[in-house]
Structure 1
Amino acid sequence: MNGWISEFRMSKEQNGRLGWVERIGYGLGDLASNLYFQMFNMFLLFYYTDVFGISAAAVSWIFLLSRVWDAVNDPVMGVIADRTRTRWGSFRPFILWFAIPFGVAGYFMFYSPDLSPGWKIAYAALTYTLVSMLYTAVNIPYSGLMAVISPSSAERARVSSIRFIFAFLGGWVIVQFLPPLKESLGGGDDVIGFRNTMLLFAAMATILFLLTFATTKERVAPEATTSDRKQLGEDIKTLVTTRPWLILVFAGLINLTAVAIKNGSNIFYFKYVVPGTSDVEVASFGSGGWMAMILGVMCTGLLIKFFEKRKLIIWLTIIGGIGMALPYWIDPGLRITMPGVETGAYSIFGLEMTSVVFFPENPRWIYIINLLGSFAAGPPVALVWTMYTDVAAFIRWKHNRRITGLVVSAAVFSQKFGMAIGGWFAGMLLTWCGFKANMEQTDTSKHGILLLFSLIPAVLIVGQGVAMFFYRLTDGQMREIEKELDEQEAASVPV
């Protein structure tokens, strides 16, 4: 196995280009991450309130307080990765070491033991925090790996596009297969259904992470560094005074806050605001959006040939924000006459699954708007992550410091903290509006759910585009920086 992997690795390494086995192998890691991340993003608030039986207010504080702890351990993980030296590199070994613990902890997070209300809150807080820490231990090194997998910014952009195709594929898998798997594996019992479904997803994620470790390689060699307090202090000072990094962190924070609010409210919107919506329609809405995002990411390589990354992000986030806002004014029952594509019933590993509607006949207008907005949301996500690796190269060029792990730890922190703020806000707004799980909702609570589904995330997404207006590290500058770094490395190689 190692022989043919090595052959493919060497096939395109000239000029920093990678083979397809390595590009896909790296992407599998984000598929693994999103089997967890999107499960939490789309279903965790609902699971805790409607299945495990915790109040929305308690869940919101669990989300927020856990992220306060992440404010400490995320940068620490970045520092540890930067200073790790093994025969596998600085970042890859963490994927190997923590893949299995991450899988096991994710399963127990959805185990749902029969406890008293107080102990349920404690169990949820403990397992959620543990999984978040293990997510940090795997995902910060995984994200840092992209910065050292190739010295070329253009190749990192290609890898990032492929990575996010797999990331969004993970979201599609969750929204498309969780409902029928939950029913099939639980026999109508949501507690058992979630538990067994997460066992399947956890096993898949573990295997995918191990494949990422086996198929990738670190090519940008780390410099010799010390781990003393003075060196670390200088690294942090350099980071927090780098303007492009600060802008990316802020933009990422508000983006993930919006995404957490929007995706977490989808299931509440269809359950309580649009009564009579079938499970197939709900799955179709979610899976259609994810497929549109995947298509958007696939177009990223083409788009960046004609548009500068920063400008592309600004305009696409504004378009996506408008798409998110429109459902506030549109009757959710309003439909448009269009042909549909529907499969028949099928089975997976002997489990009978419901039919899949990729584009339902006479779909709701909100379905069409969701497709367009989701397509626009795809490229910015992939491009922002390439910008983090650009910032790492910029710091290396300007300050002669390699702090890739610290740079990307902020990306993961803003991602998780944004999700936490979104989850906290959604839970608190539901509480303020008088939401009661598994009951008929008042007009006030329905309006609160509608705001979470549309206007609130729309304003945040547009805010991300405004923030990116102040990001000034252009594609042309990055090409010059890469050229100078290559010349410096060539000059330092002994003859």
Structure 2
Amino acid sequence: MKEESPANTPSENQNVSGLERHGYGLGDLASNLYFQMFNMFLLYYYTDVFGIGAAVVANIFLFSRFFDAINDPLMGIIADRTRTRWGSFRPYILWFAIPFGITGYLMFYSPQLSGNAKIAYAAVTYVLCGMAYTAVNIPYSGLMAVISKSASQRARVSATRFIYAFLGGFVIVQFLPSLKNAFGSGDEILGFRYTMALFAIIATILFFITFLTTKERIKPDPQQQSRSDILASLKILFTERPYLVLVLAGLLNLTAVAIKNASNIYYFKYIAGNADEVASFGGGGWIAMILGVMFTGVLIKFFEKRQLIIWLTILGGIGMAAPFWIDPSARISNPGLSTGPFSLFGLQLNNIEFIPENARWIYLINLIGSFAAGPPVALVWSMYTDVASYIDWKHKRRIAGLVVSAAVFSQKFGQAIGGWFAASLLAAFGFQANQTQGEDAKLAILLLFSIVPGTLIIIQGALIFFYPLNAKRLHTIESDLAQRNT
């Protein structure tokens, strides 16, 4: 059960308005129009549309993360030491929104190339987009640590943020297939190109809104400038257990999610026999996760945050692994939930099926597991800001940017490892794009869809047992910081 804490918090003047919470959340909608596009469709795009071998794609994914090993912490250090009239973190959202939009579009531009030139283009644009993502997303994530001194307020901001993050995933999985078909008229290259152009424009505008509606309330430490100070901050990070637990947990989570999302379209195309089902399957899962996040505020009134994350994460992992034992042809009768055909931007699109009529059993399992996965994702990100407060309290160092840079790096590195592993396993088991798959390739797809990501998620939940910052300790930290600042 949740630990009791005094009713009056020391940061009552740190309340974040609804407008600001939603303005901040729109930034993660912008991020996830890219991040979830990469998670769910980039491997498929490279292998089945752009025409690159799975083993080559695996190497591109892995190679690009060597740049992030330097770029991400460097961006965190730079943001921590930035001093402008807009604050330390918000300026980067303004400055890099447009480069973020342009590089994402270029990834899916698909020029007429062949051989090594095609591979080079994919690698260069993927790296450039990763660098732009770093430049805007690390400051964006760091902003949550300085948006309020109150841990409870930051948890509310995080919950709102992830409603929009999951909405981004829903938009991608539901609208990308229809938009791609409508824009491309059967040409998947053109379909992806024009759809990504639309998402790039929307993402850029959303980041501008985030910049305009947010505020930094915790002022930077003017003494944090020197090289020795940077080295000391890095040393602190890698000796603090709360930080190390969260980084490893984040790496496990994003690796699992990348594997699962990348495998969805392969599962429905080559095993279930209907690639179009990926939209309804994924869309239902994202809606369930959004509902889970919306219930987060209720759940943390009755359960301590750390315990809630542990058990819901393990439940979500079990749900993710379960389809390994479910016959893909087994169906359940239900009335279905669909919108019917509709028009968007003048384009006639297919109906959205949140749950298709006569759905497969894996839909029900996916809904339960996705609902359970919603609250932990939002709460874990609020934990990163708690760690930043803990380091400020213990070491008198405000290094929120550096702390969240590790979160973003583990996110991107997990995505890369997951994509690399999925592509490598497909290549090793004889996968051939756009052909009938042998039993070995089908087994690889099924493992990627169920057992592998489910096991990683269960391990992640168990790892949170070792996270030491409970509600009582956080309240003490918050009170002490308020007294020190006064």
TM range (shorter): over 0.9
1:402-441 pair list within 5 angstroms: 402-441=398-437
Q: What is aligned with 2:447?
A: 451
Structure 1 contact 316–377 (Cα < 8 Å) conserved: yes
Rounded Cα–Cα distance in structure 2 between residues aligned with 1:175 and 1:359: 13
Aligned residue among 323, 343, 349 for 2:345? 349
Deviation at 1:362, TM superposition (A): 2.0
Structure 1 contact 77–140 (Cα < 8 Å) conserved: yes
Deviation at 1:476, TM superposition (A): 1.1
Identify which range, 371-380 or 217-226, moves more after superposition: 217-226
Rounded Cα–Cα distance in structure 1 between residues aligned with 2:205 and 2:368: 33
> Residue by residue, what CA displacement relative to the aligned partner does 1:24-79 show, whole Å, maximum 9, x if unpaired?
00000000000000000000000000000000000011001101110111000000
Q: What is aligned with 1:72?
A: 70
Deviation at 1:187, TM superposition (A): 1.0
Q: What is aligned with 2:201?
A: 203
Amino acid at match of 1:430: L
The number of residues matched between the two structures is 476
> Residue by residue, what CA displacement relative to the aligned partner does 1:397-422 show, whole Å, maximum 9, x if unpaired?
00000011000000000000000000
Deviation at 1:227, TM superposition (A): 2.5
1:185-196 pair list within 5 angstroms: 185-196=183-194
* SS of structure 1 residue aligned to 2:302: coil
Runs of at least 5 residues in structure 2 that lack an aligned partner in the other structure: 1-10
Amino acid at match of 2:92: F
Rounded Cα–Cα distance in structure 2 between residues aligned with 1:87 and 1:41: 36
* SS of structure 2 residue aligned to 1:347: strand
Rounded Cα–Cα distance in structure 1 between residues aligned with 2:188 and 2:30: 23
Asked if 1:125 corresponds to 2:120, the answer is no
Structure 1 contact 180–353 (Cα < 8 Å) conserved: yes
Deviation at 1:89, TM superposition (A): 0.1
Runs of at least 5 residues in structure 1 that lack an aligned partner in the other structure: 1-12, 491-495
Deviation at 1:361, TM superposition (A): 2.2
Asked if 1:285 corresponds to 2:281, the answer is yes
Rounded Cα–Cα distance in structure 2 between residues aligned with 1:245 and 1:325: 28
Structure 1 contact 83–225 (Cα < 8 Å) conserved: no
Aligned residue among 291, 294, 303 for 2:290? 294
Q: What is aligned with 1:212?
A: 210
Structure 1 contact 290–374 (Cα < 8 Å) conserved: yes
Deviation at 1:159, TM superposition (A): 0.4
Rounded Cα–Cα distance in structure 2 between residues aligned with 1:176 and 1:255: 23
Rounded Cα–Cα distance in structure 2 between residues aligned with 1:250 and 1:421: 13
* SS of structure 1 residue aligned to 2:466: coil
Aligned residue among 258, 261, 264 for 1:260? 258
* SS of structure 1 residue aligned to 2:343: strand
Deviation at 1:14, TM superposition (A): 4.7
> Residue by residue, what CA displacement relative to the aligned partner does 1:442-491 show, whole Å, maximum 9, x if unpaired?
0000000000000000110001011101001101110111011001111x
* SS of structure 2 residue aligned to 1:469: helix
Rounded Cα–Cα distance in structure 1 between residues aligned with 2:446 and 2:338: 29
Regions of 4+ moved over 6 Å: none
Deviation at 1:278, TM superposition (A): 5.9
Rounded Cα–Cα distance in structure 1 between residues aligned with 2:243 and 2:338: 45
Deviation at 1:107, TM superposition (A): 0.6
Give the TM-score taking structure 1 as reference length.
0.95
Q: What is aligned with 1:168?
A: 166
Rounded Cα–Cα distance in structure 2 between residues aligned with 1:342 and 1:226: 55
Rounded Cα–Cα distance in structure 1 between residues aligned with 2:278 and 2:72: 35
Q: What is aligned with 2:370?
A: 374
Rounded Cα–Cα distance in structure 2 between residues aligned with 1:480 and 1:258: 34
Percent of residue pairs bearing the same amino acid type: 67
Rounded Cα–Cα distance in structure 2 between residues aligned with 1:194 and 1:154: 41
> Residue by residue, what CA displacement relative to the aligned partner does 1:157-185 show, whole Å, maximum 9, x if unpaired?
00000000000000000000000000111
Asked if 1:391 corresponds to 2:391, the answer is no
Structure 2 contact 265–275 (Cα < 8 Å) conserved: no
Amino acid at match of 1:164: F
Residues 1:278 and 1:272: Cα distance change in structure 2 (over 3 Å): closer
Deviation at 1:15, TM superposition (A): 2.9
Q: What is aligned with 2:438?
A: 442
Q: What is aligned with 1:230?
A: 228
Deviation at 1:359, TM superposition (A): 2.2
Amino acid at match of 2:339: T
Amino acid at match of 1:390: D
Deviation at 1:342, TM superposition (A): 2.0
1:86-125 pair list within 5 angstroms: 86-125=84-123
Deviation at 1:228, TM superposition (A): 2.0
Q: What is aligned with 1:324?
A: 320
Give the TM-score taking structure 2 as reference length.
0.97
Structure 2 contact 355–363 (Cα < 8 Å) conserved: no
Amino acid at match of 2:353: V
Q: What is aligned with 1:179?
A: 177
Q: What is aligned with 1:7?
A: none
